[in-house]
A and B are shown apart, each in its own frame.
Chain A
């Protein structure tokens, strides 16, 4: 591409989108004749609070407690996500590969997957010693199912001819796993990981609202209880940024591992 990124049409349209959204927010809070809306903080108040060295409600980029919340959430999301990948990818592969195991596991996964993560919270608290593990468990569950399902679909969608070609060329089962199944399923696995990461943040925030002492979800709900409205929005915006960054990391790692995919189908970057 000849034009630098900051001069591209896409880049400017992105900012037009952001500005329109903030303007709509400002307008609805300031000018809409609806009481409920008028009580909400406008963008300017939130920004002032977020970047203030002496925030009115105690949380801004200059207060250590803000980073405590972020660190707790990032730690939980990362732990849950890592566990989901480590368990979900191999299980998905085995399910897709072995018909007997598939018969056992598919029905079970089919039954457990639709249970909303929040419904697990009471049981999780009873099951685990301490809130921390319970929250991680609930976060892990959604990510785990998303990873399993996409890995499974990924392996199932590999063309049979690749398996035949591999067999014809003298591959052992291990070679097939390493050279056909894993690389062949990787595009779908990474799609699954993106979904899993999103789902992890979603249920993490919910879990923290109900059961934690720290974390962005807790921050949001606590601010709600204490009527610290700008802090609610700070928590929400921080979750948005964290989710965006974690997705971007997965995308970059995926493109690294799947150079062939990026080069062949023009999905680099």
Chain B
């Protein structure tokens, strides 16, 4: 796994002059009794039912659950793509979502998308520069400098700065997309099943890369996935959701030490956590399967 070592080294160098300021006291996300009901033509689908969750600044939280459990809905609410039917979401004490306010996305909680959403018509560099420029936080020149700097520090991505995203591998694209999010210095990073379509080896490389970025840039991370092993390996806490209606069933505290290394996945502590989580999810998945539900992302 020399690729992992390389990324680690690059990021260690990055630490000396971090391009992204750590904000230890920001990014406190508070989800209070949130429900979301979709009611197209009176269908009345309860996507999220009375979910409450406190995420401390700088925490890495993974939300896991079977398909259609409302984890993506919850993320869309936090991202500001969707509103709540009832309940409240707060970020550092400010209202993010209330039943009466329209959805409001913003650069304080940037999303990395399941299928990737780098603009294919912009180069890697232009993609990363985009946020700071449209927010009028930087001149194009400053944005370019910061973008190049950050790309370089995240595993030498500055080498592909002039490429267009479709020319890169999906792993590389995902890394660039995370950099595009980080360059805005968000309070929360929202990752919506970012490694879903990857093979096991690429996934492992991406995990190390993400963990290193988390260590260096330290941000609240909400990581949506249906892959339990991934959730336990990466996160401080794993939130298990159940489907129809989407409810938070249990929260598993992961006390594996950081930095995390792939060998940990063979340790007794990891396996015990995995067994505990599987029991919860399996029960739910079986119920959904027996109801004959269609897969939902």
Are A170 and B117 in contact, with the CB atoms below 8 A? no
- Looking at the assembled complex, report how far the CB atom of A93 sits from the nearest CB atom of chain B, in whole angstroms: 16
With contact pairs A165-B111, A170-B106 given, residues A179 and B119 touching in the complex (Cβ less than 8 Å):
yes
Pairwise interchain contact A169-B107, C-beta atoms closer than 8 A: yes
Docked complex: B105-125 residues within 8 A CB-CB of A = 105-107, 109-111, 113, 115-123
Query: Could you say which residues of chain B place their CB within 8 Å of the CB of A159?
Result: 115, 117
Grouping DSSP codes into helix (H, G, I), strand (E, B) and loop, the A interface class, with mixed when no group exceeds half, is helix
Interface of B is mostly: loop
Whether the pair A261, B167 counts as a contact (CB closer than 8 A) is no
User: Contact residue range for chain B?
Assistant: 20 to 34
Q: In the complex the two chains form, is B81's CB within 8 Å of A169's CB?
A: no
Q: How far is the CB of B112 from chain A (nearest CB, A)?
A: 9
> Does B60 sit within 8 A of A, measured CB to CB?
no
A113 at the interface (CB under 8 A from B): no
Q: Tell me whether A104 is interfacial, beta carbon within 8 Å.
A: no
Residue from A164, A165, A184, A264 within 8 A of B167 (CB atoms): A264
- Other-chain residue from B81, B134, B164, B166 in contact with A171 (beta carbon distance below 8 A): B134
Q: How far is the CA of A115 from the CA of B185 in the complex (A)?
A: 55
Fill in one digit per residue for B117-156: 1 if any A CB lies within 8 Å of its CB, else 0: 1111111000000110011000000000000000000000
Which partner residue on chain B sits nearest A182 by CB separation?
B121
Distance (whole angstroms) from the CB of A10 to the closest CB of chain B: 25
> Tally of A-B residue pairs with Cβ under 8 A?
73
Interface residues of B in 233-290 (CB under 8 A from A): none
Q: Does B49 contact A (CB under 8 A)?
A: no
Given the interface pairs A179-B134, A184-B121, A265-B166, the reply to whether A168 lies near B110 with Cβ below 8 Å is yes
Q: Write out the residue numbers on chain A whose beta carbons fall within 8 Å of the beta carbon of B130.
A: 169, 179
In this complex, how many residues of chain A approach chain B with their Cβ under 8 Å: the count is 23
CA distance A165 to B106 in the complex (A): 10
Are B134 and A162 interface neighbours, CB within 8 A? no
Once the chains bind, are A170 and B134 in contact (CB under 8 Å)?
A: yes
16 A-B pairs within 8 Å (CB atoms) are namely A162-B119, A164-B105, A165-B111, A165-B117, A167-B105, A168-B80, A168-B109, A170-B107, A172-B134, A175-B134, A179-B130, A179-B134, A183-B122, A186-B121, A264-B165, A264-B167
What is A's interface to B at a CB cutoff of 8 Å? Answer: 159, 161-162, 164-165, 167-172, 175, 179-180, 183-184, 186, 258, 260-261, 263-265
Binding site for A on B (CB under 8 A): 79-81, 105-107, 109-111, 113, 115-123, 130-131, 134-135, 164-167, 180, 184
